[in-house]
Structure 1
């Protein structure tokens, strides 16, 4: 009991000393940690949110609850960090990147840094202001595999006057391998790109070529980072500067076009005047297509940047030349026509509009074309939209010329002229025009809603060039394998000929046809029918009204009138009706049982499957196969009825 009293008495005497010891131990533990206190700061934007520590040690999370500042009784904010940290970068936030400390002007400030070697473990910092403006946060989640491991990435754009190496906008690499940066600006919409510090090392498209400016507006600003993938760097393409498969196809079409020209020039008895226009068309196609391929090559563009504008001049030149060719080929029209200059007014206006572009500095021009600045975008939108409308008008005009030729030729010829290559080219041009309209709609949509439509529009334009270049393949094929199609087997019709399908193509005599009375008309009709039954001239696939009139020893225009008035048909269907009747007779002939329907059609005078099918359907209301099937059924029923 005495010892206990003595112990308690001793502890009472040591109590002040123990308190001092515990205080010293507590202070030592406190100073063993890194402590950051906010000595001065402006009012919080959201007081209930508190302050947070965002750093590379917590993946720059602006609202990490494990790194939230504590608040003392007198209203001071502080945070304590492990003393094992040797160095780190950090900023103070209010829980989001939209509310982060800035410089004295309210603009973005560089990251704060701490180093054990240079800084005390107890820091008192001051926050000048909170950043003002709209906060855009970007996170690059993927970069090209060939990016140098020590590369420093920057964001540049309309917010920093396109400085490609602005240290304020250097991206921070996070532990997960992604890169993050925040842009604080008063701009409601910004255009931007990522670089490695120079314009030569700016990001590019998948193919390594120039990428148009990225665009973003205020609706994307906020707490969530905008995810971005960098596909390539312009100075570090994924592969050697080789041609893509698409470019190889375009280049081959140019070469085939030149070969087609050489072949066409050696076709015997070809229409030289018409084919001069055809050769001009092919050379234009090959030349502009080659220019398109060359301007896709970065090295070529660096030497000849103005060549980027060259392919555009096809817009108002190809269609007029194609029209002149068709008019010359089908109607032997005088080409170019007397008013030919009017056909190229738009080409001249386009050239004048492009003069300012040709006068630009090379670098300014390339950047303007890649980034589609407002003046350049407006010019191209007007030129492109007008080109689509004009080319549609020319397409309809040329289609009308071809249809007019077909209609008039039926008054003089018993067969369809093979215009397959013209129809094929017209189909290709129609597809190009549809894609041109789609491109215009895409641009209008992008302009109205502020959407980046560059990639979609570029795909449409690439398809237009691919289809356009395919005309060289088409003409090359016909020139090599179907050379007879390149030249018409008939003489061109008169350009001044009436458009009525019931009028003869050949110029009539000056005598008065109305003087021919019904008796004379009937005599000519009987003479015609007698000769058709006796001589069967319709079996000649190339029969024309001139040929038949010569055999009957009457004027072609008289024969045409007899056919038109007595049979209410043109020459084409008059002859083909005889051919179809002969086809039906042969179909019943046992000698032709093993023949195919098309073989019989050729036997009776048809020169093509399309002409046979069309004429048969028009005159019998059945297709040849339907008619043949019905005849077989009739024979079966008849056989059953006669079977005892």
Structure 2
């Protein structure tokens, strides 16, 4: 038993140390996205506060019961802060407002309940509660509330990511600056950990004491691995922390807001066809897609079509995301270069940069999507 306790203590200390070290780095590093860094630092701080419970001695708890009870309640702030972090990374214009204090309601309600039921008790009564906390209804209700919170915030986070991805595909054409994949992985891993934690906590109320102990070891190990994984990714891929403007609208929302229907009259159909022809001619002749950071706003300025009309034209009438629309031209340009015998000396890396890509993996992915071949196989075919 001592060996398991020692192992838990070691992993907890490492997790807390890494979390606090990264939090300190995020709070002190010079960056444009200070709010996102501060929110994640706060998330890591709450994570560390939760982790230190494993190696807090009973003697310390008995001298500071209210502090320990309050430490429990900080768990109700962890996921709200994580959600706000996700939003702040996705949308560069995000700012904290008074309405965001609504996320603290579970934390406030819990502390009000604890004030009535726990904080005002004498030390003997607090000690009795602490010693039998697994059987106490207050802690059971608190665990249920945290479980509901996990479900709600997991849904909310993935809805934000879904909106971000749709907005990005309709307005941007640079796969390198997309943070969707990273945030999706992060959210999936974090919430998988929380759902496993829910399953682990349910063992608290069973007779499987040994299983509960080993579940704690496994959860602590996973928490340590995930913390280190985030640190490595954050250090190796700083470009992941770029967002988009939340004021951007999806095409379907534009159409709904202006009560536009899918049905098109014959004269409108001719006008739209003419606009599509002008757009495609401009893309072929002027090749704006060669700019790796091309956005729909920049293309709108170049072709002199209002950005709203251009978005509807591409995303609705051509039925392609701006992201795919632009990359198709890039791939077609790359295909012509690969088949040009005068450019056989160009490497694949040189070609992908020439046509507007800035990532070899992205280029290979999209090239294979459009041709079912790798660039090298296409050149040799």
* TM-score interval, smaller chain: 0.7 to 0.9
How many angstroms apart in 2 are the aligned matches of 1:463 and 1:370? Answer: 24
With 297-306 and 579-588 compared, the bigger mean Cα shift is at 297-306
Is contact 1:538-1:604 (8 Å) kept?
A: yes
Cα distance between partner residues in 1 of 2:252 and 2:363: 20
Name the CA distance, whole Å, in 2 between partners of 1:503 and 1:573.
20
Deviation at 1:582, TM superposition (A): 2.2
1:577-627: CA deviations, max 9, x gaps? Answer: 11222232333345457735x66444422344665466446545x3x44x8
Corresponding residue number in structure 2 for 1:405: 164
Shift of residue 400, structure 1, vs aligned partner? 0.8
Q: For the residues of structure 1 that align with 2:24 and 2:105, how far apart are their CA atoms?
A: 32
Query: Larger Rg: 1 or 2?
Result: 1
Is 1:486 the counterpart of 2:241? The answer is yes
Question: Shift in Å at residue 556 of structure 1?
Answer: 1.7
What SS does structure 2 have at the residue aligned with 1:406? helix
Indicate yes or no: 2:18 matched with 1:253. yes
Deviation at 1:427, TM superposition (A): 2.3
State how far apart, in whole Å, the 1-side matches of 2:360 and 2:254 are.
26
Aligned positions of 1:86-485 closer than 5 A: 205-206=1-2, 244-264=9-29, 266-267=30-31, 270-289=32-51, 291-292=52-53, 294-295=55-56, 297-298=57-58, 300-301=60-61, 303-331=63-91, 332-333=93-94, 335-336=96-97, 338=99, 340-355=100-115, 356-362=117-123, 365=126, 368-372=129-133, 374=135, 376=136, 378-416=137-175, 417-443=178-204, 446=206, 452-464=207-219, 467-468=222-223, 472-485=227-240
Change (3 A) 1:315 1:286: closer
Secondary structure of 1:561's counterpart equals helix
Query: 1:207: Cα distance to partner?
Result: 5.0
What's the counterpart of residue 563 of structure 1? Answer: 314
Q: CA RMSD in A?
A: 3.8
Q: Which moved more, 1:248-257 or 1:464-473?
A: 464-473
Distance 1:555 1:308, change over 3 A: same
Alignment of 1:41-52 (within 5 A): none
SS in 2 for 1:534: helix
1:324 and 1:381 mapped to 2: Cα distance?
Answer: 27
Gaps of 5+ in 2: 259-263
Counterpart contact for 2:170–2:250, Cα < 8 Å: no
Assess, with a 3 A threshold, how the Cα gap between structure 1 residues 599 and 385 changes in structure 2: closer, same or farther.
Answer: farther
Aligned length: 369
Alpha-carbon distance in structure 2 between the residues aligned to 1:462 and 1:307: 25
Deviations 1:89-142 (A, max 9, x none): xxxxxxxxxxxxxxxxxxxxxxxxxxxxxxxxxxxxxxxxxxxxxxxxxxxxxx
Taking structure 1 as reference, are residues 565 and 370 closer, same or farther at Cα in structure 2, changes over 3 Å only?
closer
Give a deviation string over 1:468-494, Cα, whole Å, max 9, x none.
566654554455443332233xx4221
Q: Distance in 1 between matches of 2:370 and 2:306?
A: 27
TM-score, normalised via structure 1 length: 0.50
Q: CA deviation at 1:369?
A: 3.6
Q: Is the Cα contact below 8 Å between 1:435 and 1:460 reproduced in 2?
A: no
TM-score, normalised via structure 2 length: 0.79
Q: Residues 333 and 582 from structure 1, CA distance in 2 versus in 1: closer, same or farther, beyond 3 angstroms?
A: same
How far, CA to CA, are the matches of 1:207 and 1:403 in structure 2? 45
For the Cα contact (< 8 Å) 1:294–1:300, is it kept in 2? no
Q: Distance in 1 between matches of 2:133 and 2:313?
A: 66
**Is the CA contact (8 Å cut-off) linking 1:428 and 1:467 kept in structure 2?**
no
Tell me what 1:49 maps to. none
Change (3 A) 1:480 1:576: same
**CA deviation after TM superposition for structure 1 residue 316, in Å:** 1.9
| Alignment CA distance shift 1:329-1:243 (3 Å) | closer
Structure 1: runs of 5+ lacking an equivalent: 1-204, 210-238, 447-451, 509-513, 636-644
Shift of 1:552: 1.7
- Go from structure 1 to structure 2 and tell me whether the alpha carbon gap of 1:577 and 1:502 turns closer, same or farther (over 3 Å shift): farther
What does residue 16 of structure 1 align with? none
Give the distance between the partners of 2:185 and 2:290, measured in 1 at CA. 29
RCO higher in structure (CA 8 A, sep ≥6) = 2
Deviations along 1:209-259, whole A, 9 cap, x unmatched? 7xxxxxxxxxxxxxxxxxxxxxxxxxxxxx9xx984212322322332333
- Relative to 1, partners in 2 of residues 1:587 and 1:370: Cα closer, same or farther, differing over 3 Å? farther
The CA deviation at 1:423 is 2.7
Query: For residue 550 of structure 1, what is the aligned residue in structure 2?
Result: 301
Q: Which structure features the higher share of helix residues?
A: 2
